[in-house]
A and B are shown apart, each in its own frame.
Chain A
Amino acid sequence: ETGVTQTPRHLVMGMTNKKSLKCEQHLGHNAMYWYKQSAKKPLELMFVYSLEERVENNSVPSRFSPECPNSSHLFLHLHTLQPEDSALYLCASSQDLRQDTDTQYFGPGTRLTVL
C-alpha cells in the first residue's frame, strides 16, 4: 500500500464513547499532522509531530489526544466528544517540516459524526 491511509473512513459515536482514529504513512516521512475540516470553515491544524515528538498543539481541547508511536503511525484518541466535533479529520505527512522542500501528502480522511 502506498501514500497515506486512514481508518476508519467513517465513524459514528456517542458523546460518552471512546474511539481512536488511525493514520499510517508508507512514504518514509518524518513529520505527521492532524487537521480538522468542518463545514464552512477552513481546515484547522490540530497537531504536528516530527520524529515522533509533538511540536505543535494548536489549542485543541483535551478530549482529543494524539499519539505517535513511530514515524509511520499517528493516532487520534477521542473521548467525551461533543456534536460540534463532527467533521472530517485529515491526516498528512511530509518528509520533514521544511516547507520549501517538503510537500504534505494527505490521507482520505475519517468522517466523524458525534451523536
Chain B
Amino acid sequence: AQSVTQPDIHITVSEGASLELRCNYSYGATPYLFWYVQSPGQGLQLLLKYFSGDTLVQGIKGFEAEFKRSQSSFNLRKPSVHWSDAAEYFCAVGGSQGNLIFGKGTKLSVKP
C-alpha cells in the first residue's frame, strides 16, 4: 500500500539557518510526489511537485526537493529560513484514484 512517512513531528531552526525536512514514501511504481505547506488557519498550498525528469525540483518561496529513488525519499530543503516559513509541511504521494496520500506533517518553528 502507498504510504508517506515524515519522521520529524516538530523541528525548530534559527532564522537564516538551512532547513531539511525528511520524507520517505512507499509506492510500487514511479511516484508523483508533492510538498504542501499549511499556515495556521489556512488550507494547503503547493510548494513543489515531482513527476519525472530532473530529480532536483525547484518550488516557490525558495524551496527545493530532491527525489532519491534508491532511498525512497523526497526531502525538502531551503538554504536560509525566514520567520514567515513557520508552518506545517506535508509530504504527499499521488494515489491510484487521483487522490493524495499525505504524511502526518512536520511542524516548523523558527527562532529569531
Residues of A within 8 A of B (CB): 4, 6, 31, 33, 40-43, 45, 48, 50, 55-56, 58, 90, 92, 94, 96-109
Contacts and interface: CB of A to CB of B under 8 A. Distances in A.
A106 B99 contact: no
Contacts of A90: 43-44
Interface of B: 4, 32, 36, 41-46, 49, 51-52, 90, 94-95, 97-105
A40 to B, nearest CB: 7
B62 to A, nearest CB: 19
A69 to B, nearest CB: 21
Contacts of A92: 43-44
A99 B46 contact: no
A98 B98 contact: yes
